[in-house]
Amino acid sequence: MSAVRRRAALVMASVFIPVVVVAAGFVFLVNAQASGPFESQRIYVNPDSQAAEAVASGSADAVVERVANTPTAIWLTPEEYGIGDVGGYVRSVVTDAATTDSTPVFVVYGIPNRDCGNFSAGGLSASDYPDWVEEIASNLGEGQSVVLVEPDALSLAHECPDEDVQVDAVAGAVATLSVTESWIYVDGGHSNWRSPEDMAALLERVGVDSIRGFSTNVSNFNPTDDERAYAETLSGLVGGAHYVIDTSRNGAGSDGEWCNPSGRALGATPLTVSVSGAMDGNLWIKAPGESDGTCNGGPPAGEWWPSAIDEMARNAGW
């Protein structure tokens, strides 16, 4: 059954079941939904994350080890996994996840004019991008992976040279991924960005009705309650689409800055926030400890920043 048909058939439950997830010798406790994208009750833990690499190098403490064993989304970028490589990598993750009956969470992040020239600038050419997305889609297999499509792309589109070109590129990616068996969420910005009405129009343009729904707060810091309110309003405007919230770094809320702000804290670990309405769950989408860019003393976007993870963990009481 496709993800689209499943969405129409599912009734979201508010009953939670304690589940023990074991990864690399670490026991991770989550509260899993009784139905929906996280029905398998386990989210895949990437053994090759930067946090895991820090642990393996012997340069990390117990806090970083705990972060390394917390399920976090795997970001697919053409700079790391280009055409000819990304498919094999996706297939290897899906295969590994199947051995533990866990659900991998991927982020597709390679749109042309990515980040519209900001700190995460890059991405593929307009001609290569569809082929890259198709390679990802064709290697997801029949398992129920979760795929998050192009964080910030719709919200930032008006700052790119041609908004329509950016929106059309997202629509193409959504269309390609929508025919897979995976649960697809296209990024819907966050509560302090575009209005729900503006975002609803964009989500409708890219075909949100053909997929599971949308994501919010990716790589941002807004409080979960604010994101719930925003997402519920947005869901109501787009036919009841479901959503997930990134809680990886929102434990202390936002101070209005988006790029490596100080004083932030790790947020609720995946699937530990009670769901209601159209919410499917909370996830760690942005990997805590990875820089937002060369701002506020940070290294280039995506690089591991030990002092940042130390501060966020300390502020969260870890």
For 265, the 3-state DSSP assignment is strand
Question: Which of 152, 246, 280, 292 is the catalytic position?
Answer: 152
Is 246 assigned a catalytic role? no
Angle separating helix axes 86-99 and 129-137, nearest 10 degrees:
20
From CA 44, how far away is CA 151, in angstroms rounded? Answer: 20
What's the rounded Cα separation, in Å, for the pair 55 and 176? 37
The DSSP secondary-structure symbol of 98 reads: H
CB 67 within 8 A of CB 304: no
Give how far Cα 15 sits from Cα of 18, 22, 47, 90, 231, Å: 10, 22, 30, 32, 21
Question: Nearest-5° angle of CA 2, CA 176, CA 212?
Answer: 45
- One-letter amino acid at 259 equals C
DSSP-derived 3-state class of residue 202: helix
- The tokens of 82 are what? 């280009």
Query: 128 an active-site residue?
Result: no
- Among 48, 85, 96, 115, which one carries the catalytic annotation? 115
Q: What is the DSSP code (8-state) at residue 250?
A: B
Please give the positions annotated as active site.
115, 152
